[in-house]
Amino acid sequence: MIEWMLLPLKRYADFNGRSRRKEYWFFLLGAFIAAILLGIVEGILGLNGMVFGVYGPLTLLLIVAIIVPSIAVQVRRFHDQDKSGWFVLLSFIPFVGGLIVLVFMCLEGTRGPNRFGPDPKDATSTSVFA
């Protein structure tokens, strides 16, 4: 489980290839848990709300550190569905864009190889953790 949370960090700015839903959702879970823990630490230290009245400095550092791997893993999720990585820009559509991207992140990828690479669920392909 921890491997799936850290895999997008290992593939920090890798916008090529495909990623499974498991990789995306575990990364999001790990980032959420880290943000909660940092929020607690900032609350204890009295640092919360120091940045824009909302974030503490540690939470802001976390956001800055994971912005690139977050976008990269989203691009790879779109690639897994045989869609262009530019679909990430859908999230900029006011009100509904984030919901549209959320739906795409829940959809299963195409079976077998596609134009972006081999199927990450294929047991005969190389391990994603290698």
Over the stretch 44-86, which tens digit does the pLDDT of each residue have?
988 877 776 778 889 889 999 999 999 999 999 999 999 999 9
**Residue 84 belongs to a domain:** yes
pTM of the predicted protein model: 0.86
The total domain count for the chain is 1
Half-sphere exposure of 91 (CA within 13 A, CB side): 14
Distance between CA atoms of residues 125 and 59, nearest Å: 37
Distance between CA atoms of residues 10 and 4, nearest Å: 10
**Residue 127 belongs to a domain:** no
Is pLDDT of 126 > 70?
Answer: no
Identify the residue with better confidence: 124 or 107: 107
Range of the domain at 34: 2-106
Average the pLDDT over 29-37 and give the result: 94
**Residue 91 belongs to a domain:** yes
Q: How sure is the predictor about 89, in pLDDT bands with cuts at 50, 70 and 90? A: very high
**Residue 129 belongs to a domain:** no
**DSSP string computed for 63-100:** HHHHHHHHHHHHHHHHHHTT--GGGGGGGGSTTTHHHH
Distance between CA atoms of residues 93 and 98, nearest Å: 7
**Residue 37 belongs to a domain:** yes
**Residue 121 belongs to a domain:** no
